[in-house]
Amino acid sequence: MTSLIPSVPMPSGTSTIGKTFTFEAGHRLPGLPPEHKCNRQHGHSYQVEVALTADALEAPGFVTDFGALAPFKEFLDTELDHRNLHEALPFEPTSELLAQFLAGWFIQTLEPHIPGRLVSVTVRETGRSWARFTMEEQ
């Protein structure tokens, strides 16, 4: 098959992909003063975005096949969805610590089995509030 678009040189560089996952959970932050609203039980529709990068693409032209990220979604659904995070996690469930924890889980559990390297994990509590954990340069 002949292309109608002329060939162009492919520049060198890295490629980055992202995928967003969701889960519903409640939490409280007991380390805050009693009068702080986040000390009280409340909930969020969390969005978690993972970003991965690669210097070279895997056939047919992927950083990582999005389907290979399914175990991460399964972990979120099984361990965090519809739970009280302050009871489920071994730390105070701020978005910052949750992003760092999820990055650690991803690196330990999933990254050894897929192409691409984790760049960051972003946790959104609301449409306007988020925390991002960014991996150190490797």
Catalytic residue list contains 27: no
Q: Is 125 a catalytic residue?
A: yes
Residues 117, 98: Cα–Cα separation, whole Å: 19
pTM of the predicted model as reported, rounded to 2 decimal places: 0.92
User: Closest Cα partner for 12 from 50, 52, 59, 54?
Assistant: 54
Q: Indicate the pLDDT class of residue 138, thresholds 50, 70 and 90.
A: low
In which band, very low, low, confident or very high, does the pLDDT at 38 lie, cut at 50, 70 and 90?
A: confident
pLDDT score recorded for residue 3: 80
- The answer, yes or no, to whether residue 122 has pLDDT greater than 80, is yes
User: Catalytic site residue 136?
Assistant: no
Q: Does domain 15-134 have CATH number 3.30.479.10?
A: yes
Query: Considering 92, 125, 136, 137, which one is annotated as catalytic?
Result: 125
Residues 42-64: pLDDT tens digits? 999 999 999 999 999 999 999 99
User: Model confidence over 2-15: pLDDT tens digits?
Assistant: 788 888 998 999 99
Q: Which of 24, 58, 79, 82 is catalytic?
A: 82
User: One of 27, 38, 87, 92 is an active-site residue; which one?
Assistant: 38
Angle subtended at Cα 134 by Cα 41 and Cα 116, rounded to the nearest 5 degrees? 120
